Structure 1
Amino acid sequence: MIILTSIMLAIIATCCCLLLGLPTAYFIATRPPSTRMLWLMAVIVPYCVNLLIRTISMLFIIRDQGPINSFLIWTGLIDAPIQIAYTNFAVTLGLFYSYLPFMILPIYVAVERFNFSLLTAANDLYASKWAVWRYVLLPNLKPGIIAGCLLVFIPSLGAFIAPDLLGGGKQLMIGNLIALQFQGSRNWPFGAALGMVLMAMIFIVLIVFSKRNSQEAR
């Protein structure tokens, strides 16, 4: 059950990062060169802060007496604080916030290398916006998207800090379960076995993506 929950939360976090990371990367890559670095710094610099500090800050924001609940109560949308912290939603939010730059940066590189004259040619041939996106832009951005998904999914699958703090010890992922075996239960053989399971899952994901890329390259 914990393994399935870990996979589900990692997939949801990856999809959320992709939904926000793709348009963000495209926006940054299409800015004038004079301001492009400023936008990149705006993405990168906040993540130079220690992950533990950022996760605790997120917990402060989503707690019952935090700014989000205080604002919702002030606007009259709710009468009492809603439970955000110590839920699967909070864990997913923490994973999303922790690994979002890992999605933005690879896609940004792919967009920056894209030949935008292809979009002009497609528009000149009266292609619709959806056709331009589906058949021209997306295939060229696919390597960056795949790289970003891997860079988000793999660390999310074995995440420890976000489930431990934002989940309050109630929402366990496989990383927390492994840590408990070594720190609390002292069941090192089982912890080592879980570690091997996690490594095998990551290895399978990498093999699947590698085979798909090799088949498409032929």
Structure 2
Amino acid sequence: MSIAAALGTEAATGPVGGAPHARPAVRARSGAYLLLLPGLAYLVVFFVLPVVSLLATSLYVPVPGGDIGQFQPALHWQNYPAAISQFWPELLRSFVFALIATVASLLIGYPMAYMIAVRARGRALLQGLLLVLLIAPFFTSFILRTVAWKQILADDAFVVTAMKWLHVLPPDGRLTATAFAVVAGLTYNFLPFMALPIYASLERLDTRLIEASGDLYASGPTTFWRVTMPLSMPGVVSGTLLTFIPASGDYVNSSLLGNPRSTAMIGQIVDSRFFRVVDYPTASVLSVVLMVAILILVALYIRRAGTEDLV
């Protein structure tokens, strides 16, 4: 066969051995896309469409002359400044409460996770028992746990009585229906979300690094801040996000442990505007604002933390 004929044959059929390899690659990509279709369909139906509907509802206007709760589609962007100017204290309070609860959960949850992952390492029975105690609250309803916390902080309960006896609280002081009770409830309910990711990071920690730090004459605090804490940062970032995000939109703790005048959070406002006042546009506006604010704060936090596992 001549060189021209060989080139002509290759041009007509492709490189020798190329077609058999190309077809399996195409089939593999097609199969991967087919496997992704159920997940993509789920996201479109249960995430994308609800968000689009929420955005559309936030721009609705009342039907002229219609009954309460009747709205019609529009592009009324004035709903956003009106809702924000009216409910910015509740929005700000939600982030402040969530931030305080996140810091408190970190201060409480990190030692717990360290004890389980590092100090109890090698003692399977003790480690398992501590893990069970950590996740035990998940076996109880969120609302029941909050109601129980309300009983713990009741005016005639041991905590308030002891604080009054120690003169920490005035004789007419109380803990329920206060900001302290709301933050305490948030911290208690979301503490496992903080401790478990930190535990997962510390569980993978190579203890030989801690021993090497001691061999290099580093003190305990220096070893913690220079070795343990940096290696556990992915768990810290995950835990703070898993605590801060749901705590920002929580309304159960503020409803049961607080009062509607001074401790109301944005979740309560959304709930009342949607189910009681029947003001769907305002409820949608506040939901969108909360969602966008959380996305911005989370993006800034992840970028500042610099953990590549979460970017």
- Do the aligned partners of residues 215 and 48 (structure 1) sit closer, same or farther apart at CA in structure 2, a change above 3 Å counting? closer
Report what 1:186 is aligned to. 278
TM-score of the aligned structures, taking structure 2 as reference length: 0.66
Report what 2:250 is aligned to. 159
Determine if contact 1:65/1:81 at 8 Å carries over to the other structure: no
Report what 1:147 is aligned to. 238
Report what 1:107 is aligned to. 198
Report what 2:57 is aligned to. none
| C-alpha distance in 1 between matches for 2:108 and 2:241 | 16
Report what 2:96 is aligned to. 8
Q: Which of 298, 302, 310 is the aligned partner of 1:206?
A: 298
Which of the two has higher C-alpha Rg?
A: 2
| C-alpha distance in 1 between matches for 2:299 and 2:133 | 34
Q: Which of 128, 143, 146 is the aligned partner of 1:52?
A: 143
Q: CA deviation at 1:64?
A: 1.0
Supply the RMSD in Å over aligned alpha carbons: 2.0
Q: Which of 159, 165, 173 is the aligned partner of 1:68?
A: 159
| C-alpha distance in 1 between matches for 2:170 and 2:281 | 49
| C-alpha distance in 2 between matches for 1:115 and 1:11 | 31
- Do the aligned partners of residues 50 and 10 (structure 1) sit closer, same or farther apart at CA in structure 2, a change above 3 Å counting? same
- Do the aligned partners of residues 79 and 86 (structure 1) sit closer, same or farther apart at CA in structure 2, a change above 3 Å counting? closer
TM-score of the aligned structures, taking structure 1 as reference length: 0.92
Q: Which moved more, 1:152-161 or 1:208-217?
A: 208-217
Unaligned runs of 5+ in 1: none
Identity of aligned residues (%): 34
Q: Which moved more, 1:114-123 or 1:130-139?
A: 130-139
| C-alpha distance in 2 between matches for 1:147 and 1:119 | 23
Query: For this pair of structures, how many residues does the alignment match?
Result: 217
Encode CA deviations 1:60-119: one digit per residue, 9 max, x unaligned. 11111122123345x564673521000111100010011000011000011110001001
SS of the residue corresponding to residue 56 of structure 1 reads helix
Report what 2:211 is aligned to. 120
Q: CA deviation at 1:209?
A: 3.5
